[in-house]
Amino acid sequence: MSRYLKCAPHEGDIRFTVGVHPDPAVQNHGLAPYYAMHSLMKEWGDRWQTQGKPTSDVEFMGQQWAAAFDYDKSGLDPWDNPTFDIEQVREFRFYFAAKSSPHYNGNPQNREERVHGGTITIRPRWPNLTSDGELVSVPQYGEPYIDVQVQASNIPHEKYLTLVQRMMDSYSISSRYFDQPHPDSHINDLAYYVRLYRDASGPLFAPDGPIARCHTLIQGDRSGYRKHVEDNTKLPGYYVTATVEDEKADELIRGHRLGKELKHYYPNHPETYEPDEAPYHPKFEVSYQTSRTDDTVRWDDLDDARRELEETILNCLEWTGIATTAKSSEFVDFDPYWSLEDTTEARKMVQCPLPKIEDEQEHRVMKLWGDMTTADRDVTEMLLTDGGKVSPQEAAEKTGYTYRTIRTVIDRLEGLIRHTYGELELESKKIQQELLKRVRAAGDRFQQEIGSATMELADAIEERTRSRWARVRREYAVSEVEADDCRKLLKVGYMPDDFAEAKKILREIRTAYTESVSSNTYGIHVVIETVETGRERFRDLRNAFQKGYRRGDYISREEQQRRNESFDFEAWKAAGCPPADEWNGG
């Protein structure tokens, strides 16, 4: 049986609907628990001023917890019902903190002391609820009930309902009121983490790590919500996050459905801690983002949600070469809120999809870039530079093309441009970066080529008369650079993936040059840089595919000078074969 690292629960925000239930076999208690809290408030009376808030000791999870009871004005109008005789509607709040927490100093109402603790807030609800006479938008069940919100940290989320019951018992409020929450009870926030030693967590927040690549590869160019933060001001990886929307979660790990945030972070003042203190070392956390998830996550869905968040953590660890069991020395074993141990619960582990997604997106750009029409490039440039969401109609207005032309562009550039909900965007941040790289390689030529909408007809006519050599020079940003060891040195601005693609480009250059300029390519060298192999130099373009001199295999400067001196340049020019930089056919 596989064993995996058990992640630590961090923050949680869960709302229980109590007092009403769709199952007729379940007794509805309505506002009974709220009335009990109201009576407690009244019984305490003047002691609020003399003795402070009512406190209590709670036994929970084998620990002692300190609790305090308080209330606030709710702003709600009293219920227009004969059974309701409360003139001032209030919200009731229970503060609690573990007495064993190193952050606890005796006051559970102090936020800084509730690192291992939290609050329970009780709000009354009834049909046609109003505030200052205006209807309040809350779930309606035709009967009164109470909303119980638990916000806590470093407590197992599955224990939240039990915590509420223990808290009520400690204040002599019957816990049976909370036995059967409504199925609509739901989760607002859920987070799990692991804590790694400072020198072990680098791969998680690296530029090619899962946090950064999630942002660049699987998030759309501009649709929905985009957030990627890299704050390395205090130390590397101080605060690095990326958000994955629910519709993209499945691309990261098949079957996942929650919007989530991946986060590597330190406390606000990491410099105040020593290596033997847990906050000196960073957390890697994955949290459920309700605002990035269309479907509501119910209380009954907690196990599935926990599994998905923990699977995201474990897979990210494995993708970066970090162990996924508690035996590893990479995890901090003195975190006061995390017991470093393994679990035998089933967890889905998958091969990292990000390299494959990256390769596919790069290939997509490479495949479509060279065949782009003027309209394709106009629309692409507009999407690269425009800051807002763009509909096809708006794209037509901005570029000067017809709506039909825009739709043709969308169809032709499928894989680069996404068209959803009447809006256009680039498929991902990675697609955007790849396109920008090629645009920048082309420099001013890109602007010159795509022209403007008003010159569409002239551009089309001119395009038909341009030579193949001009098109190739434009497409791969070929320029001449100064060199004294060859007749001409051409530099390719476009960056291919590998040496094989570089040779393919060289073949196009040679074919175009011999077709449009001259069949004699002796003495023409080409420099091209690939992503995989770096700078490559090919000598004598006519034999580039048989003799690709690479990395130090070039002939000596003296040998090249001897060959240059033996070459009759005047005869070359007299024969009507100008140097490459003098050709202006494009």
454, pLDDT greater than 70: no
Indicate the pTM of the whole model. 0.65
* Ordered DSSP codes for 511-522: HHHHHHT-S--T
CA distance 201 to 205: 7
Residue 373: the pLDDT is 72
Q: Which sign does the torsion angle of CA 509, 510, 511, 514 carry?
A: positive
pLDDT-derived band of residue 546, with 50, 70 and 90 as boundaries?
very low
Domains identified in the chain and CATH numbers: 1-9+190-352 (no CATH), 20-181 (no CATH), 355-463 (1.10.10.10), 466-582 (no CATH)
393, pLDDT greater than 70: yes
Range of lowest pLDDT (4-18, 116-130, 252-266, 539-553): 539-553
Q: Which residue has the higher pLDDT, 386 or 27?
A: 27
The per-residue pLDDT of the chain, averaged, comes to 80
For residue range 91-111, list pLDDT tens digits in order: 999 999 999 999 999 999 999
Residues 6+ apart with CB under 8 A from 82: none
548, pLDDT greater than 60: no
CA distance 491 to 246: 45
Contact 90, 41 (CB under 8 A): yes
The segment with the largest mean pLDDT, out of 205-209, 327-331, 391-395, 494-498, is 327-331
Contact 502, 536 (CB under 8 A): yes
Residue 223: the pLDDT is 44
CA distance 243 to 229: 9
CA distance 542 to 565: 20
CA distance 402 to 383: 17
